[in-house]
Amino acid sequence: MLITVPLLTVLLLLLALVGSLVVSVAQLVRLLPSYADRYQRLIGSITQQLANLGITQDQIRTMLSKLDLGSLIGLLQGFLGGLAGVGSAFVVVVLLLFGMSLDASPTHDAIRALGPARPHLVGALAGFARGTCNYLIVSSVFGLIVAVLDAVALWIMGVPLPLLWGLLAFITNYIPNVGFVIGLVPPALLALLDSGPGKALAVVVVYSVLNFVIQSVIQPKFTGESAGLSTTVTMLSLFVWAYVLGPIGAILAVPLSAFARALLIDADPETRWAVPLVGGHAPARE
């Protein structure tokens, strides 16, 4: 019961997240066609500015040939549909964790029994568990803070669908280094269509300030070196796991790479020379 209740709570929250994404994406699909006229005026303004710079009409047509509203709608639909798929994948992960939690007690006993024979492996797994739990908790808390602040700021500025963009900011907070950019582009583009360059610039500034203060200044003080990965290794792990598992791999890149480090480096004294190359310190043995 002590395990079942928290997992069911998380599962219900994830179901609510997926449901909110589906509803918000449906609202976006209905909203975008109303911006057709503004989009054409924006393209006309860009065309005039390019012509003033001496670019020929043929070159302009070539550059803008794929910038039609239908393509933009299709791109956003595919992107946000992928996020809904990520939410569904999260539900599957939680169900998997629920099944694993049922085996938690015997697994814990089995790992402890390995202590005398494989102390380094047990210490590595224990360090991975502590670091990953800390990383996920802190990322979730600060992701929620950023999401709420982003949504409130967008609502104050009058950008349509602030709830959707807040949910997007929360999900992309788990993507290391580039998640902020992924969460910024869609609301900035919608602000550009809705109110022009000034509103889009305001969205970029607000997101940048919130991201820098919360995610770059405050959050690292709490996460520290919990994941045990350097910035370079984190970026590489993002590309690798996103290629292997798709969007869910990008979100789980840090925990998956931390687990690989625990098994391949921390568990073997002969490979611990590689610890400085991946970042962090070897976990303390229990």
Residue ranges covered by each domain of the chain: 1-102, 118-286
**Are residues 176 and 238 in contact, defined by beta-carbon separation less than 8 angstroms?**
yes
CB distance 154 to 187 below 8 Å = yes
pLDDT of residue 286: 47
Q: Cβ neighbours of residue 256 under 8 Å, at least 6 residues apart?
A: 237, 241, 249
pTM over 0.85: no
Write down the residue that tokens 């302009």 correspond to.
60
**Tell me, what's the pLDDT at 6?**
61
Residue 246 has pLDDT above 60, yes or no: yes
Which of 71-85, 91-105, 127-141 tops mean pLDDT? 127-141
**pLDDT score of 203:** 92
Average pLDDT, the chain: 74
Q: How confident is the model at residue 201 (pLDDT cuts 50, 70, 90)?
A: very high
Highest mean pLDDT range out of 174-183, 187-196, 197-206? 197-206
